[in-house]
Structure 1
Amino acid sequence: MILKADIPEIREWTESLWGKNSPYLNFNRLVDSPPILKKEERIETRMPNKVLKDKLIERDGHNCAFCGIPVIRAEIRKVIKGVYPNALKWERQNINQHSAFQAMWLQYDHLLPHSRGGNNDLDNLVITCAPCNFGRMQFTLEEVSLLNPLKRERRKTEWDGLERIKKTVVLHRI
């Protein structure tokens, strides 16, 4: 099943969403938008800590806050790759990554991008898929005409991000 899910059309769709050449990225640089800061000007580390990541998953579940696609944490992907190394390819280059796992890769996204001064407060972070996160790049929600997902009602699903697999693998190793 893992091999069958590595579908070229998924890769094409994913890669069409991210990067400056995306036909879907339409942004308006707004006069009052925060500037892109140099790395030394940014206020804190870019990634949230484990406690905050756990709070985000508890609040948002395992679905992208923007598009709703089910997502899987990198840690779970690594467990699956350990069990099925020939089925789940994951190397450095996008072309050498499993297309479905790439599309469903859970990200911790800053609503106000870190590069624009965004912090790691819970009210500035959401769970997203890689395409939504990388597709928006350093642009603000307003610049790409997106609504703040924290200000609209979202339906939490039963999808657990395949977290159950980690428990199963541990049990089978005992």
Structure 2
Amino acid sequence: MSTRQPIRKSVRFEVFKRDNFTCQYCGAKAPDVILHVDHINPVSKGGDNEIINLVTACQPCNLGKSDRVLSDSSSIDRQRAQLEGLNERREQLEMMLAWRDELQSFGDTTVDLVAERIVARMPGHSINEHGRSLIRNWIKKFSVEEILDALDVAADKMSSSPDQEEVNECFDAIPRICVTRRLPEVKQKMLYARGILRRRIYVNHSIVMPLMANAIEAGLDVEELIEFSKTVKNWTEFRAAMEEIANG
């Protein structure tokens, strides 16, 4: 006769989880009933505490079963199938975790490559951990090609020996350029015209874009808008011209 050993709490919990906290004899569930862990093959007949020999049973079923061995193998087969299913899910989870680690490694490599390209365009400067975290966020939103193209656009505007302020402005401009380049071409050129105006004259930022949009909708060619932005003398003149075109 086998000596009864207490079932560890961790093992009991694993059995309950495997069986969805449901009595495998009658289908009763916690917390409607008190659940026990029952030996399929009783200890008195050589059963052990291996999980394959354990099953969730409600208190009435467990007490009524005494030390009788189940009359067929259906419960054992069910437990074996459940264990096989658990093992399959565990293996799939391990594969998913490995895949996540591979993606993380790939992401870190991509960040390194983008950071190297940025530093190459900014001689004498480096990227700290905060900068790397920003690059990592960019990569989630934009393709590497978009980021590098934006870098070229921003870096081409810097002087040959940029100071820290210039470098910071270039770095911060990269995601904005990525966003702009996803806009329709007309909208991109309107933003370009706005940039010209902002560098040359005072601009009312709250209405400049709607003014340009109304004028273009009324027939103003966007290339003409750009050229006008390069020569207009002040905001009053620009606003009057846009309103005149919009109002026909």
The answer to whether TM tops 0.5 is: no
Name the structure where helix makes up a greater proportion of residues.
2
Between the two structures, name the one with larger relative contact order (CA 8 Å, sep ≥ 6). 1
Instruction: Give the TM-score category using the shorter length.
Output: 0.3 to 0.5
When Rg is computed on C-alpha atoms for both structures, the one with the higher figure is 2
TM-score by length of 2: 0.29
